[in-house]
Structure 1
């Protein structure tokens, strides 16, 4: 490498990316880290309401608030760096967002299933909500053959009912029961 060649710092996600997608990657990182800052700030505020104990002079919310403050600072630093990348790259071609969404449809589908799972746990209880989530997630991930379906069913039953039993009878931690439990 000659001493005349300019040094260009690239991220691992940009090495294989064409110039069209570099700006889109930077924008995606900005949006993600911005959402994380909002989430962590909300949790930071709620951590202040944790009940205090007479044995902890700082209170039970001090450590979570410290961790969340560090996470907020890290995400803000990443956002500053990504803003520089965003401004230094040219605009992307039309249709890039649609292609990106299509390429990541499986991840978004699993996230949507997980959101439905979180919403359904209070209504159905841990066992049934977990059973439905695990079966649907495995179907979304491509389980189609009879043997794979049988293995998926065993995994779903084991993790939904087995974890409920483990927490209820071994750890003596009550998970949401639901109307059918």
Structure 2
């Protein structure tokens, strides 16, 4: 079966998702002041594969919304804006190597594998900190972020959360996983 066919929403699914995204966009203007939904919608309608990724973000409780616009590239950044790390993406280790390294009590998946399957990216530390300037997320949970290669080569991975009025960046073994740790994704349209 052709994967491109599988990664396309029906017209009904597209319409429903666009309605959800528009409603969220309008209710949260503080995340994207000065932007107009009609411009975002036009970009989405021109890129149905991006709608498929946003559908995946929505289906895993990420509550994606526009958080930035790059004027030079005319590109919008969608990010998971659920209050806590998306429920459908928790209890995962960092990447495939970490998943394979676990001998007992393996999680079902890894953050990097899930993000790749959804065709989104884990947030960088800078993106995570920028998101936290819009409102406070992960007050009870934490989210894996992109980890520099030198840290990952030593077996570690980074995650962030928001506690005591601050964003914290921590490290853990890449093979660790917790019920309160997932990941937030970014999608550029």
Using CA pairs under 8 Å that are at least 6 residues apart, name the structure with larger relative contact order, 1 or 2.
Answer: 2
Higher strand share: 2
Higher helix share: 1
Q: TM-score, normalised by structure 2?
A: 0.29
